[in-house]
Each structure stands twice: as structure tokens, then as C-alpha cells.
């Protein structure tokens, strides 16, 4: 019986470092997951706000453009109303083209999703590599 008791003590002292490492790894993973969830929630709120503001902007600009077009065509009704409509169409296409270029540059410029989470995971990876190299 004494061999069995000492064997269990040796096994528990042997597994202690693994349990401690697992606890540290679990705590680090938990922290990173909390950060990830927070970033998802922030991204969702930012997206909702962006969509709502985009809807308001599109709605306001659409009505403004329609009313401005009617006003300009009415001003040139006696002579040159066809030219007024053509020039306005070109102006609208130019504005839309500039908006597409700006939107494309903004989409390509974006750093990506979850930059803080990825940065923290990168730091964890570097620390693990450094401690494994020692």
C-alpha cells in the first residue's frame, strides 16, 4: 500500500505543472474570447449606425436631387430644357462615379475585422515562441 500511496503523490506532483499551464492557457483564451466578443458587439453597433445614417442620407439626397432637377428643368422650360436634363444627368453620373471611387478606397483601406483580438493573439504567439526558445 505504501508504494501505491507514494506513486499517487509522484503522479500528482508530476501533473501539477501541466495543470498550472492549462489554467494559464485557459485564462488567456478566456480573455481573448471576451475581447473578440466585445469587438463583435462594437462592429455590430457600428454597422447598425452606419446603415441607419446611410438610409437617411440616401433618402434626403434622393428627394433633394429630384426636386432640384424639376426646378432646373422648369427654369429652362421655354428654351433648352432637353439640354438641362442632359447636363443634370451627366452631373449625377459624375457624382456617383466619385462616390464609387471613394467607397472603393475606403473598403480597400480598412484594416480588417477584429484588429485588437488578432494583435493580442499575435503577442501570445510571440510570447509562447520566446518561452519555448529559452
Q: Is 28 exposed, middle or buried (0-12, 13-18, 19+ CB in 10 A)?
A: middle
What is the tally of structural domains in the chain?
1
Cα angle for residues 110, 29, 113 (degrees, 5° grid): 10
Place 84 in a pLDDT band, splitting at 50, 70 and 90.
confident
Domain containing residue 118? 2-133
Considering only CA atoms, which of 45, 83, 97, 88 is closest in space to residue 67? 88
Place 134 in a pLDDT band, splitting at 50, 70 and 90.
low
Place 8 in a pLDDT band, splitting at 50, 70 and 90.
low
Cβ proximity of 117 and 36 under 8 Å: yes
Amino acid at each position: 500500500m505504501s508504494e501505491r500511496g507514494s506513486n499517487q503523490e509522484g503522479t500528482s506532483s508530476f501533473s501539477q505543472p501541466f495543470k498550472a499551464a492549462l489554467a494559464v492557457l485557459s485564462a488567456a483564451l478566456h480573455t481573448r474570447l471576451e475581447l473578440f466578443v466585445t469587438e463583435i458587439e462594437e462592429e455590430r453597433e457600428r454597422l447598425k449606425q452606419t446603415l441607419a445614417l446611410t438610409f437617411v442620407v440616401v433618402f434626403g439626397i434622393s428627394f433633394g436631387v429630384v426636386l432640384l432637377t424639376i426646378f432646373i428643368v422648369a427654369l429652362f422650360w421655354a428654351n433648352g430644357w432637353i439640354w438641362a436634363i442632359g447636363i443634370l444627368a451627366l452631373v449625377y453620373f459624375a457624382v456617383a462615379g466619385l462616390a464609387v471611387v471613394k467607397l472603393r478606397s475606403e473598403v480597400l483601406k480598412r484594416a480588417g475585422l477584429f484588429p485588437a483580438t488578432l494583435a493580442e493573439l499575435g503577442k501570445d504567439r510571440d510570447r509562447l515562441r520566446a518561452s519555448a526558445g529559452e
